[in-house]
Amino acid sequence: MSTSTVSVSANPNSPAVLALGATSTRRRISDKKTSNFEIVSSQSPAAGLVQLITTFTLGSSLFNFNYNSKGALFSSNAISQLQARIGEIDAMLKETNKMVQTQLDVVDNNIHNQLAAAKRDLINKIEQNGDFFENRFNKLEATSHALQLSLSQLKSSNLLTNEDLHKFSEELKTSRNSNSQGNDGPVSLDEIGAVARSIVEKAIQKHAADGLARVDYALASGGAMVVKHSEPLFPTAGNWLNFKRVNVVAQKMLQPSFGEPGHCFPLKGSNGFVEIKLRRDIIPDAVTLEHVAKSVAYDRSSAPKDCQIFGWFQGLDADQSSQAEKKFLLAEFAYDLEKSNAQTFNVESSNSGIVNMIRLEFSSNHGGPHTCIYRLRVHGHEPDLVAVSSLQA
């Protein structure tokens, strides 16, 4: 086909003219390395949309292009103008794409900044809540520790044991029988209150009588006595043969002192011992060592410090030489001047057995030249007769 001119008598918008124009256009722009479709597909979605619209507009212009009113043919000048127009549109597309990309970068930066700010706020809130929850946890931990301590104190005080419940039940039955009500029918609150009041009154009377509300089997007025001791501070006057006998003052340590300073049994030095025969055979569960109270004492350095309690059972015809083999350690403790003047120490249950003899040994005191024992009490319960008979046999 000639590149000069071709006569076409038909309408410029006829299919033949359009086909000829499209063929010429393809020949002239076939050397372009990148098609408009590739340009569109390589851009961002917004820029691609603009390019598609522009390409569609350009195509419409090509199909509706009037070369002249007489159906003039495509010339090389017209093709050049068309290519220039395409270049302008391509430049416009690139500029538009650049503008869109700039806007996208701005939006992306805004989103990034907002996410960073939200992240910082979230971290700050987490840290603030973390401090709050940590404080709450510490308070709960302190409360739990206090509750555990209170529970331990309640357990150690034995406020309501099975034995206490049994005694309360027996007291309630006795009270109902004495009132001719019998054991039938529901128990009223008034009955429970009356029995509880009676038990409390008895406990108060018992506590007022001896201060601890526990039976003392080493009480001198109950039949207990000191049978042996280390060298006393004041030997019995007028009898030089009494160095192996019991000092007359020794019984003071088995009597209530009522907090009176000097009402004690003094022994020479910072170490010594005292042996006591109990009022009867018992199974010991605790001992109480008492010294003068700090509020009325002249000097408390004579109080014993490191102590041991031994016990054994001594029969009527016991051999003194074999007693040492029968002794067993009941308790080992240190008397603390900063605590109550009457301090109770529990006996090791594994070592507890039937005893009627007790030996107090002290290896130190609180710095004094002599040691004063104000009172020693021994607590426990009485065994059954069968167990005692087997020991005496």
254: amino acid identity, one letter = L
Could you give the residue ranges of the DSSP H alpha helices within the chain?
15-29, 36-42, 45-63, 76-157, 162-178, 189-210, 323-326, 385-392
Q: How far apart are CA 185 and CA 304, in angstroms?
A: 57
Q: What is the pLDDT of residue 253?
A: 94
Q: What is the pLDDT of residue 129?
A: 80
183 and 227 both lie in a single domain: no
Closest CA to 361 of 314, 312, 305, 313: 305
User: Secondary structure of the chain: what % helix, strand, coil (to 5)?
Assistant: 50, 20, 35
If one counts the domains in the chain, the total is 3
Sign of CA dihedral 330, 336, 340, 341: positive
Report the CATH number that the domain containing residue 287 is assigned in CATH: 2.60.120.260
Largest distance between two CA atoms of the chain:
170
Closest CA to 64 of 5, 25, 4, 17: 17
205 and 233 both lie in a single domain: no
Question: Apex CA 150: angle with CA 145 and CA 153, to 5°?
Answer: 125
181 and 238 both lie in a single domain: no
**Side-chain-facing half-sphere of 187: CA atoms under 13 Å:** 16
* Residue 303: alpha-carbon gap to chain centroid: 40
Q: What is the 3-state secondary structure (H, E, C) of 139-204?
A: HHHHHHHHHHHHHHHHHHHCCCCHHHHHHHHHHHHHHHHHCCCCCCCCCCHHHHHHHHHHHHHHHH
Q: Do residues 280 and 356 lie in contact, with contact meaning Cβ atoms separated by under 8 Å?
A: yes
254 and 312 both lie in a single domain: yes
172 and 238 both lie in a single domain: no
382 and 267 both lie in a single domain: yes
Q: What is the pLDDT of residue 59?
A: 59
201 and 300 both lie in a single domain: no
Please list the pLDDT of the chain residue by residue as tens digits (393 residues).
333 333 334 444 444 444 444 444 444 444 444 444 444 444 455 555 556 666 655 655 555 554 444 444 457 787 888 888 888 888 888 888 888 888 888 998 899 899 989 988 888 888 878 778 888 888 888 888 887 777 776 666 655 566 666 777 777 777 777 665 555 666 677 777 777 777 776 666 565 556 777 889 999 999 999 999 999 998 875 444 445 579 989 999 999 877 788 899 999 999 999 999 999 999 999 999 999 988 888 889 999 999 999 999 988 765 655 555 578 899 999 999 999 999 999 998 766 789 999 999 999 999 999 999 999 999 999 987 655 566 555
- What are residue 273's DSSP bridge partners? 361
**Domain range for 316:** 220-392
Residue 215 domain flag: no
316 and 336 both lie in a single domain: yes
Q: For the whole prediction, is pTM greater than 0.75? A: no
